[in-house]
Amino acid sequence: MIKLIGLVPLFPLIGFLINGFFGKKMSKSLSGGIACVSVLASFVVAVLAFLELQHSANKSHVIELFSWINSDTLKIPFSLLFDPLSSIFLLIITGIGFLIHIYSTGYMHDDDGFSRFFTYLNLFVFFMLLLVLGNNYLVMFVGWEGVGLCSYLLIGFWFKNTAFNNAARKAFVMNRIGDLGFLMGIILIFVTYGSISYGEVFAKAGTGGTAVVTSIALLLFIGAIGKSAQIPLYTWLPDAMAGPTPVSALIHAATMVTAGIYMVVRSNVFYSISEVASETVAVVGIATALFAATIGLLQNDIKKILAYSTVSQLGLMFLGLGVGAYSSSVFHVTTHAFFKALLFLGAGSVIHAMGGEQDVRKMGGLKGKIKITYITMLLGTIAISGIPPFSGFFSKDEILAHVYEHNKILWFLGMVTSMLTAFYMFRMLFLTFFGNFRGTHEQEHHLHESPKSMTVPLMVLAGLSVVGGLIGLPEFWGQHNWIGEYLSPIILRPDPSILSHETEWTLMGLAVLAAGVVIYFAHAMFITNDVLPENNEEKLKPWQKLIANKYYVDELYNAVVTKPLDIISSFFHKFMDLQVVDGIVNSTGKAVTGIGSVVRLLQTGNIGFYIVSMVLGVVLILLFTFII
């Protein structure tokens, strides 16, 4: 089955083509069914190939499809790589992707662009699969750019709304900034090593010199910053909530934003060599995690809360990468895919029940109205808060344990981030499902549980959020850390743990105690004392207003970057385009017209004048010849 791994991206591509060409002519059930079956087929092949890999002595399989670029200096085959790292991401993309496709059939059922939505969704899955299966940086880059395009299409899916179009454009532009760094990194890799195929490059990585390796690692990380929404290129992801909720779950929880994590783990040899690059990754990661977590404290849009949670969790993953905990970060990518997809889809179910309302200040008391959604979101909230034995506890604790080994300050900041996460997530849960209903009478009358096409994926993801941590149980629990052992062939320079079991137990106890105290405080604040977010921003305290407005980063970018560029663009338009370029073109046209108007006077129609002119011309030619 490993030899047929090329079928995994092929099935979604076929689904994209069928829906793209014939979707409007088909019924919604058929269109959605084709899209779902194509991803399900990919999942089945991925599972069978994964099982075969477990019993294979060779853990890295290259499947050559065809010769893509072939010149004297550049030879790039279009080949796929199936190994432990790509196999895990294939299962996440196709498994979570299939559940989200099923969910979307119910969520988007009444939308006029139903077939177009699934066309984009299938195309996105294809490019994401290509990204993680590529055997060289160029194939990865094709997938990388493809998911950026699909993200633009899906975020701006409801294109009649100008604000949604602006959000899509913002995501596209900010990703292109990061992509430029990634592309420059690929060029530097080729210049340094003469190849961009993983096997050849990683075998010669140490020969490039520390300075060059650091440059490569930092350039690649710039690409990861854009795709995975880290400081300073993170502001596109919260705005990306403009797209339909299934888009938020698929692109911004389980797949696209984790592409940066995948790329850094795949390129781990560069970061293992360069201490500067690793420290940069760690510092940017913890700064993003803490910064986004503070913003999430006072957000009132249920999807925006989850968006900043995603940015923060990605920051924790990069913190893990920065201290060499590559398998731990992949572990957290996996568990995060479970509970964050669950939370986004649960938020979509709440929005569906509320008739489109997203403000938690206008919700409340929903747990008795939409019980399945409440229970599943409760499980997802517990998981992301790091409460044992839920999945998020094991993956987050493993990252923090590795961070503690390297830097106690970064560990402390990571702990603070985890505490803030528990607070704002339970704040969202309490404001949404507890207390009295604060919406309109019409909304209250409209309240109802979502159809099975939406609730069944929620229940499956809830189950995974509960038991998903079993794949990474610590060894001192009497188990082998399966995911760590499985990924060991990919981590070229592993950094073994030096913590004693007593220290690990202590760190775990502190993490659970801190989360428990924060949850108790949130319960006392929003349930016991019934504190509600302020509707009038003018009544907020200065520090609350600062956080509620996301530290005015968007306004700062607008003042420092956007407006100056607009002024420069306007100057070049008015001066260079209209005066210089258009002036030269228009002047040339006028000169030709003027010369033509004069020359045409010679065309009198008088034959005698033509004969005289011809004779004079011959005489002048003869005189010129004799003189020369």
The per-residue pLDDT for range 467-509, each reduced to its tens digit, is: 988 887 765 555 567 888 889 888 876 666 667 778 888 989 9
- Residue 471, both tokens: 């794949």
Residues 6+ apart with CB under 8 A from 287: 231, 315
Those residues of the chain that have pLDDT short of 70 are 254, 474-480, 493-498, 628
Contact 316, 399 (CB under 8 A): yes
Residue 64: closest CA among 3, 13, 145:
3
CA distance 172 to 188: 24
Kindly report whether the global pTM for this prediction surpasses the value 0.95: no
State CA 101 to chain mean position distance.
18
Locate the domains of the chain by residue range.
348-548, 553-627
Q: What is the pLDDT of residue 184?
A: 96
CA distance 276 to 373: 45
State CA 100 to chain mean position distance.
16
- Residue 458, both tokens: 């929620």
Query: Cα torsion for 499, 504, 510, 511, to the nearest 10°?
Result: 100
Q: What is the pLDDT of residue 208?
A: 81
Place of tokens 């339970």: 426
Q: Cα dist. 545→76, 190, 237, 532, 537 in Å?
A: 53, 48, 21, 15, 7
Q: What is the pLDDT of residue 475?
A: 57
Place of tokens 């924790």: 316
| Phi, psi of 274, deg, nearest 5 | -100, 110
Q: What is the pLDDT of residue 476?
A: 52
Q: What is the pLDDT of residue 374?
A: 95
Residues 6+ apart with CB under 8 A from 111: 117, 244
Run of H or E including 66? strand 61-70
Q: Which three-class secondary structure state does DSSP give residue 266?
A: helix
